[in-house]
């Protein structure tokens, strides 16, 4: 049975979490990494969260396929220019590294999907690393739903094994049919079938990119680069606004004028499409991680599609493109918002909680309000990480408010 | 009774870059200065987009000076291959005007700043910009 235990923070917790990369542990209003409490879960609860995330990931892929087949692009507010690039990445089954489901879970009823952060999820260093070292020091005999680090390295290794440098890619036509049964196999499915023959070839360099001067972004990207290096790949850093376009060669370059073929980006796809260089994305000469097809999964416009395709599914909340089916009580979410921006919690037709922000131009969806548990006045949201198509770990963030925002605290967990 | 269920946590975590954090790792590569026919350069002075300086030939080439290719069993210098490494007492020189022009042309072939502009409108006053 899930419990929240008050704890005495380690006197030197700041130094300890900083030493493993969590330099952004505090903000102006207090700690973001909060070890004054910890969540204890049962193994059965962890199993349920894991199974729910695995189910939901493939439901989302099915829903994305329905969007593509039925040309439901306007339902997700996806711009015309993005469609061929999404299609291309989908047909090629471009490599996807990770994502994070935000689930509402009280330990009584099945976990419910709040949203899928499938494009630019953060809170990774704290989930994968900081809470692992916290566990090792304070609860060495307990377990934690957290094999994120190992799974990330394994995912990069798989990519390294399958990559070949493909200079003719710009001319490559759309690839395998949507019905190809080999699409989106999990690492477990693939075990024993993945050829290791290409290992002798030199894997191409993976560039890692984010915006400048944001500590959380830089550390998140550096951590992912760390796991990529440990998988034997070559890596390089280039800030998103330093990426260059070579006019004659017609490919992207870094500051050394070296070609960028594959780049991990911690930068939303929908922003890329608003920018000058998006015109060059159609050439397909740069493969981003996360790939363009993840735009479908990270879009909250997928929530009504999921409910339409799988009505009554135990891990879904009713969701629509209009408020009426939900009566006067619902949560209104912009299709593209992040960190709870522009989310409104409505009860009896009255807004009882709301976050500000710059989103909403793309339209809203309306989702039934989840029953959020309360522990000492705090509402936890369960962030289940998916790495290479499989659930890999958990990070819990809590807030006294029901809408998780960018100041919501990260609280470590364990189970016995 | 012993718990036989497999552990769900990573067995070990080793940090290669994150533990030994350095500014160079975070900032990536820095823009290189432009070249000039008034300056002198040593062998293998690298200029992005132009290559490696070969002092005796006063220009930049795609491969380092006297680079040995095992498959060819030959050495590269001054834009050509030879059976022996090129021998010269010149290991520093100023580039020709044509070589400088080629370098400048390679610079203007690349435009930057075409990504990243959208973020500036979303970060104002926020502790974190777009995190999910």
Per residue in A235-290, pLDDT (tens digit) is 999 999 999 999 888 999 998 888 999 999 999 999 999 999 999 998 788 999 99
Q: What is the DSSP letter of A120?
A: S
Please check the confidence at residue A137 and state whether its pLDDT lies above 50: yes
A323 contact B CB<8A: no
Residues of chain B with Cβ-Cβ distance to A145 below 8 Å are: 8-9
Phi, psi at A258, each rounded to 5°: -80, 140
Closest C-alpha to A240, from A213, A280, A204: A213
- On average, the pLDDT of chain A sits at 89
User: Which residue has 């566990």 as its token pair?
Assistant: A135
Helix (H) or strand (E) holding A246: strand A244-246
Residue A348, token pair as written in the block: 């009896």
pLDDT at position B117 over 90: no
- How many A/B residue pairs have CB atoms within 8 Å? 182
What share of chain B has pLDDT > 70, as a percent? 75
Question: Which pLDDT score, from 0 to 100, does residue A403 have?
Answer: 82
Q: Give pLDDT, residue A196.
A: 38
Residues B25 and A122: their CA atoms lie apart, in Å, by 20
pLDDT at A62: 98
Chain B residue with the nearest C-alpha to that of A207: B28
Task: Write the residue in A230, A245, A339 that is nearest to B16 by C-beta.
Answer: A230
A158 pLDDT higher than 70: yes
Please tell me which residue, A190 or A237, carries the higher pLDDT value. A237
The DSSP bridge pattern shows strands A235-237 and A206-209 to be parallel
Cα-only R_g, chain A: 21
CA separation, residue A122 to residues A69, A380, B128 (Å): 31, 17, 10
Tens-place pLDDT, residues A314-358: 999 999 999 999 999 999 999 887 777 788 888 998 988 888 787
Residue B2 has pLDDT above 90, yes or no: no
What is the ipTM metric for this complex? 0.83
Chain B residue numbers with beta carbons less than 8 Å from the beta carbon of A148 are: 10
Dist CA A404 CA A117 (whole Å): 13
Record the tokens describing residue B108, joined without a space: 């203007």
Q: Of B14, B15, B106, which is closest to A21 when you measure between CB atoms? A: B15
pLDDT of B33 higher than 70? no
The 8 Å CB, 24+ separation contacts for A49-52 are: A49/A103, A49/A105, A49/A111, A49/A145, A49/A382, A49/A384, A49/A391, A49/A394, A50/A145, A50/A384, A50/A391, A50/B8, A51/A391, A52/A101, A52/A103, A52/A110, A52/A111, A52/A315, A52/A384
Separation between Cα atoms, residue A8 and residue A312, nearest integer Å? 42
Please say if the pLDDT value at position B66 is more than 60. Answer: yes
pLDDT score of B29? 43
Nearest by CB to A222, which of B25, B106, B122? Answer: B25
Residue B120 has a pLDDT of 62
Whether the pLDDT of residue B27 is over 50: the answer is no
**CA of A128: which chain B residue's CA is closest?**
B10
Strands (E), A109-163: 112-117
Pair of tokens at residue A79: 């711009």
CA distance A333 to B15: 37
Tell if the CB–CB gap between A129 and B109 is shorter than 8 Å: no
A90 to chain B, any CB pair closer than 8 A? The answer is no
Q: Is A192 a residue whose pLDDT tops 70?
A: no
Q: What is the pLDDT of residue A176?
A: 31
CA distance linking residue A333 with residue A302, whole number of Å? 12
Q: What is the pLDDT of residue B46?
A: 87
C-alpha neighbours within 13 Å on the C-beta side of residue A86? 25
Distance CA B19, CA B14 (A): 8
Q: Is B15 near chain A, with CB under 8 Å?
A: yes
What confidence score (pLDDT) does residue B121 get? 57
For residue A169, pLDDT beyond 60: no
**A370-403 CB burial, b ≥16 within 10 A, e <16:** bebbeeeebbbbbbbbbbbbbbbbbbbbbbebbb
pLDDT band at A54 (very low <50, low <70, confident <90, very high): very high
For chain B, the farthest-separated pair of C-alpha atoms sits apart, in whole angstroms, at 82
């Amino acid at each position: 049975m899930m419990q929240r235990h008050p704890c005495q923070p380690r006197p030197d917790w700041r130094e300890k979490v900083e030493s493993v990369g969590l330099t952004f542990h505090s903000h102006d209003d207090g700690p973001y990494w909060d070890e004054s409490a910890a969540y204890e879960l049962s193994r059965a609860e962890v199993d349920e969260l894991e199974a729910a995330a695995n189910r939901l990931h493939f439901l989302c892929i099915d829903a994305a396929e329905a969007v593509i087949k039925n040309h439901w692009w306007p339902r997700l507010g996806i711009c015309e220019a993005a469609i061929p690039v999404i299609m291309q990445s989908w047909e090629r089954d471009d490599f996807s590294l990770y994502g994070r489901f935000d689930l509402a879970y009280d330990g009584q009823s099945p976990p419910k999907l709040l949203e899928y952060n499938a494009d630019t999820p953060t809170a990774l260093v704290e989930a994968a690393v900081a809470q692992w070292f916290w566990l090792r020091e304070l609860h060495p005999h307990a377990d934690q739903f957290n094999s994120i680090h190992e799974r990330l390295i394994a995912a990069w290794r798989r990519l390294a094994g399958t990559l070949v440098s493909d200079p003719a890619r710009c001319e490559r036509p759309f690839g395998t049919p949507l019905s190809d049964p080999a699409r989106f196999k999990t690492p477990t499915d693939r075990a024993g079938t993945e050829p290791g023959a290409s290992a002798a070839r030199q894997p191409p360099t993976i560039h890692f990119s984010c915006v400048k001067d944001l500590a959380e972004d830089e550390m998140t990207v550096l951590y992912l680069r760390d796991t990529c290096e440990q998988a034997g790949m070559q890596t390089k850093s280039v800030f998103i606004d330093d990426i260059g376009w070579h006019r004659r060669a017609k490919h992207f370059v870094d500051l050394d004028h070296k070609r960028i073929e594959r780049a991990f980006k911690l930068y939303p796809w929908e922003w890329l499409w608003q920018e000058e260089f998006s015109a060059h994305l159609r050439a397909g000469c740069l493969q981003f991680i996360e790939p363009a097809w993840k735009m479908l999964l990270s879009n909250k416009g997928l929530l009504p599609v999921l409910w339409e395709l799988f009505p009554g599914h135990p891990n879904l909340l009713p969701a629509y493109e209009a408020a009426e089916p939900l009566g006067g009580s619902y949560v209104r979410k912009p299709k593209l918002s992040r960190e709870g921006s522009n989310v409104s919690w409505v009860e009896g037709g009255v807004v009882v909680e709301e976050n500000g922000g710059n989103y909403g131009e793309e339209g809203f969806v309306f989702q039934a309000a989840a029953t959020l548990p309360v522990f000492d006045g705090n509402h936890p949201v369960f962030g289940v990480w998916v790495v290479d198509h499989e659930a890999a770990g958990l990070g819990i963030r809590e807030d006294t408010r029901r809408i998780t925002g960018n100041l919501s605290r990260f609280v470590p967990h364990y189970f016995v | 009774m012993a718990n036989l269920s497999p552990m769900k946590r990573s067995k070990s975590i080793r940090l290669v870059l994150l533990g030994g954090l350095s500014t160079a790792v975070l900032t990536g590569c820095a823009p290189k200065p432009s070249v000039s026919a008034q300056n002198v350069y040593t062998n293998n002075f690298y200029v992005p987009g132009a290559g490696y300086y070969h002092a005796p030939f006063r220009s930049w080439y795609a491969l380092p000076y006297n680079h040995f290719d095992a498959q060819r069993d030959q050495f590269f210098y001054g834009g050509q291959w030879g059976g022996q490494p090129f021998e010269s007492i010149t290991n520093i020189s100023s580039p020709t005007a044509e070589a400088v022009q080629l370098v400048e042309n390679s610079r203007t072939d690349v435009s930057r700043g075409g990504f990243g502009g959208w973020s500036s409108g979303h970060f104002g006053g926020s502790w974190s910009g777009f995190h999910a």
